């Protein structure tokens, strides 16, 4: 808990936007679970973000950036430290070729179009822009409820494509508090992870897209959205796929074959519709979701010798 009044005032003084102390994260996570964060703070600008992070480092207070919290479980005991929401980082613009010339001066002009999005922009907003401007390349993000920052950190993907496939460059506040850009080729992406030094905060990104046919783009996107509605349990709160797929076999299929569909802990349930989703059927607690995760991991390990790693991130303290 950040109990010191002066420290609270110093933190609030840096940020023009909201500073929420002792904030229940159940109000912010897509799963609807989680204890209180000592603080959830919404800086407006990169310069506010930098000042905030510098203060937190000086005071040795833990911090973590969050986006739309759609891949996040906060344990019921809450998070000791500051969660920094990039929700206010909403700039989204078309920058034809600029990033390409900046980062790849030796390369010929490709004819590609760069869309620059700040970290807090939701994929749904990027998709709306793509439809409006007939831009192709990011259709695979349709229906992913995250933000650009969270999506990049997770190397979010679907339908055989990932963020790394369309990324041109990212803007970051690095672990030494420098504001800088990095070209995609300097980054190390993995399956559902972008490897960055701890403490790095993504503030925005340039995406390499192409002009396409607007009807084709619209059709592709609506096809993806319909498929998601058919396959995913979207009428309940969830955090998307819980486990990463081990090479060669989907985690959901393993869970289904282990007979675990429909398994409950409190109000948390392994979805009958898609076994890699855990849904909140009402008042689930983080501990219920984690209990189901551990049951699945034990069963699949004992039956197949495979440890299913979680895709979603679990942070905070047990109650």
Ligand X SMILES: Cc1cc2nc3c(=O)[nH]c(=O)nc-3n(C[C@H](O)[C@H](O)[C@H](O)COP(=O)(O)OP(=O)(O)OC[C@H]3O[C@@H](n4cnc5c(N)ncnc54)[C@H](O)[C@@H]3O)c2cc1C
What are φ and ψ of residue 18, in 5° steps?
-70, 140
The verdict on 26 binding ligand X (CB under 6 A) reads no
Sign of CA dihedral 265, 271, 277, 281: negative
Map residues 75-94 to x or -, x wherever contact with ligand X holds by CB under 6 A: -----------x--------
CA 192 to CA 154: how far, in whole Å?
5
Question: How far is CA 205 from each of CA 85, 86, 88, 159, 183, rounded to the nearest angstrom?
Answer: 16, 13, 15, 21, 10
Indicate which single residue of 144, 221, 290, 293 sits in contact with ligand X (rule: CB under 6 A). 144
Q: Give the residue ranges of DSSP H helices in the chain.
A: 5-14, 46-58, 98-103, 123-133, 148-153, 214-231, 251-257, 286-304
The verdict on 154 binding ligand X (CB under 6 A) reads yes
The verdict on 313 binding ligand X (CB under 6 A) reads yes
35 or 151: whose CB is closer to ligand X? Answer: 151
CB of 277 to ligand X, least distance (A): 8
Number of shown-chain residues binding ligand X (CB under 6 A)? 32
CB of 9 to ligand X, least distance (A): 26
CA 304 to CA 186: how far, in whole Å?
37
Indicate which single residue of 43, 81, 137, 151 sits in contact with ligand X (rule: CB under 6 A). 151
The verdict on 147 binding ligand X (CB under 6 A) reads yes
111 or 223: whose CB is closer to ligand X? Answer: 223
CA 79 to CA 35: how far, in whole Å?
7
Residues 168-197 that bind ligand X (CB under 6 A): none
- Please list the residues that pair with 201 across neighbouring strands: 173
The verdict on 149 binding ligand X (CB under 6 A) reads yes
- Region of 19-27, 68-76, 244-252, 297-305 interacting with ligand X (CB under 6 A): 68-76
Residues 37-66 that bind ligand X (CB under 6 A): 64-66
CB of 169 to ligand X, least distance (A): 15
CA 194 to CA 192: how far, in whole Å?
7
- Region of 102-110, 144-152, 179-187, 213-221 interacting with ligand X (CB under 6 A): 144-152
The strand pair at 36-41 and 79-85 is best described as parallel
Residues 232-261 that bind ligand X (CB under 6 A): 232, 234, 238-240
Tell me if 114 sits within 8 A of 208, measured CB to CB.
yes
Contact residues for ligand X, defined by CB under 6 A: 30, 64-72, 86, 119, 144-147, 149-151, 153-154, 156-158, 201-202, 232, 234, 238-240, 313
């Amino acid at each position: 808990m950040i109990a010191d009044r002066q420290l609270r005032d110093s933190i609030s003084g840096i940020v023009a936007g909201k500073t929420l102390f002792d904030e229940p994260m159940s109000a912010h996570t897509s799963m609807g679970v989680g204890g209180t964060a000592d603080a959830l703070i919404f800086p407006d600008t990169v310069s506010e973000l930098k000042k905030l992070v510098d203060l937190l480092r000086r005071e040795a207070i833990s911090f973590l950036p969050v986006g739309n919290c759609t891949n996040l479980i906060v344990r019921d005991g809450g998070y000791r430290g500051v969660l920094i929401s990039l929700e206010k980082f909403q700039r989204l613009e078309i920058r034809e070729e600029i990033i390409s010339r900046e980062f790849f001066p030796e390369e010929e002009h490709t004819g590609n179009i760069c869309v620059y999005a700040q970290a807090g922009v939701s994929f749904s907003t990027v998709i709306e822009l793509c439809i409006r401007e007939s831009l192709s390349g990011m259709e695979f993000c349709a229906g992913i409820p995250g933000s650009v920052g969270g999506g990049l950190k997770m190397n979010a993907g679907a339908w055989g494509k990932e963020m790394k496939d369309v990324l041109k460059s990212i803007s970051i506040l690095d672990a030494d508090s420098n504001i800088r850009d990095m070209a995609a080729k300097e980054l190390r992406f993995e399956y559902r992870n972008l490897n960055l030094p701890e403490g790095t905060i993504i503030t925005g990104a340039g995406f390499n897209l192409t002009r396409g046919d607007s009807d084709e783009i619209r059709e592709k996107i609506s096809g993806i959205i319909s498929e998601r509605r058919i396959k995913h349990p979207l009428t309940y709160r969830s955090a998307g796929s819980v486990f990463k797929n081990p090479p060669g076999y989907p985690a959901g299929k393993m869970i289904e074959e282990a007979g675990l569909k429909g398994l409950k802990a409190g109000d948390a349930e392994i979805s009958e519709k898609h076994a890699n989703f855990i849904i909140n059927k009402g008042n689930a607690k983080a501990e219920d979701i984690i209990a189901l995760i551990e049951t699945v991991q034990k069963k699949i390990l004992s039956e197949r010798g495979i440890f299913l790693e979680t895709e979603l991130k679990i942070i905070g303290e047990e109650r």
